[in-house]
Amino acid sequence: MIEVEHLDKRYGDSFAVQDLNLTFPEGQLTALLGPSGCGKTTTLRMINRLIEPTGGRILLNGQDTRSLKPEVLRRGIGYVIQQIGLFPHLSVAQNVATVPDLLGRDRRMTAQRVDELLDLVGLDPAVYREKRPAELSGGQAQRVGVARALAADPPVLLMDEPFGALDPLARDRLQEAFRDIQRRLGKTVIMVTHDIDEALRLGDRVALMRAGRLEQFGTPDDLIHRPASDFVRDFLGEDATLRQLAGRPVSAFVRAGLPSPGAPRVQADLNARSALSVMLRESHDTLEVLRGEELLGHVAWQDLRGQGPA
Ligand SMILES: Nc1ncnc2c1ncn2[C@@H]1O[C@H](COP(=O)(O)OP(=O)(O)OP(=O)(O)O)[C@@H](O)[C@H]1O
């Protein structure tokens, strides 16, 4: 768990970050979201002490990070940035193994782990192990960057716009793959993004910042349905609900029981935004939700609009 207390970063007379108070829950992904210049990157870099705060403190599992040597601190905190900076003269496998090698880990174990990690991020080790960074696409290089950050098995991962440089299709795929990995490995992840869709889709929690301060901290649902201010509402925009629905299957909204007679049928893995479209098209305010032939229950219009059980 990472706790940030009264955190300040001042440059001359202006604050990049001002009186930030925030707890990043363990094993969850928190998106740091906000307009350009609001202090996201500064916050992230204060956590691994690439930037030293001018005030306040940061606790990692209850321990003040200032009491740890930066290099010791960073061993437990992976860091992924957009320009991932793979070493061009090293192979993919050597790049992924950088940290374990530095830590003097057993070579054979490391080689095996490198293969597992490449597999995990969707790169066939037999094909990619010996390639050089110059032979990779942008998306493949990003995957290697994620594998490298995971190689030291840090409990905490800091990510700064990790998927920013990718085309939309590659970004979608890597986001999904990463979300899976994060859930499976139970890492605590803090991800800087200015992409609202990305924050709402990937974040268990979203911290929305504005001019160095925290505007709202909550689940994507909280921000969308219970915005703390006009700024939050405006920032997310009117189609925030639709955006969030696009990222979730309709099965997440299912209630037990029968729908009203004549309700259209949809499959459970249909995304909720498309399910809403079916309701509009068919002029029906409930849908019957099936998985294959099995009836799971129904979903109602008001559930998709955010007043329901999900
Ligand atoms: N070294 C520095 N010296 C002076 N001001 C700085 C310095 N680094 C950052 N700032 C200022 O602090 C503020 C926050 O910067 P930061 O990079 O944290 O924003 P951000 O939210 O990550 O923005 P972006 O999304 O554009 O990357 C900005 O106004 C920036 O100009």
Q: Whose CA is nearest to atom 1 of ligand 1?
A: 11
Q: Residues 139-194: pLDDT tens digits? A: 888 889 888 888 878 889 999 988 876 777 777 778 888 888 888 888 999 999 98
Q: Whose CA is nearest to atom 17 of ligand 1?
A: 41
Quote the CA–CA distance of 242 and 246 in Å, as a whole number.
6
Residues 6+ apart with CB under 8 A from 179: 29, 202
pLDDT reading at 54 higher than 80: yes
Q: Residues 88-98: pLDDT tens digits? A: 999 999 999 98
Quote the CA–CA distance of 210 and 307 in Å, as a whole number.
28
ipTM of the complex: 0.95
Question: If you average pLDDT over residues 73-90, what whole number do you get?
Answer: 83
CATH level 3 topology of 248-307: CBS domain Like (3.90.1280)
In short, whether 38's Cβ falls inside 6 Å of ligand 1 is yes
Q: Percent of the chain having pLDDT more than 70?
A: 97
CA proximity to 303, closest of 260, 241, 217: 241
Query: What count of other Cβ atoms lies within 10 Å of the Cβ of residue 237?
Result: 11
CA of 261 to the centre of ligand 1 (A): 57
CATH level 3 topology of 2-244: Rossmann fold (3.40.50)
Note the pLDDT of residue 306.
62
Residue 31's pLDDT band, with cuts at 50, 70 and 90, is very high
Q: What is the pTM of this model?
A: 0.79
Q: Where are the domains of the chain?
A: 2-244, 248-307
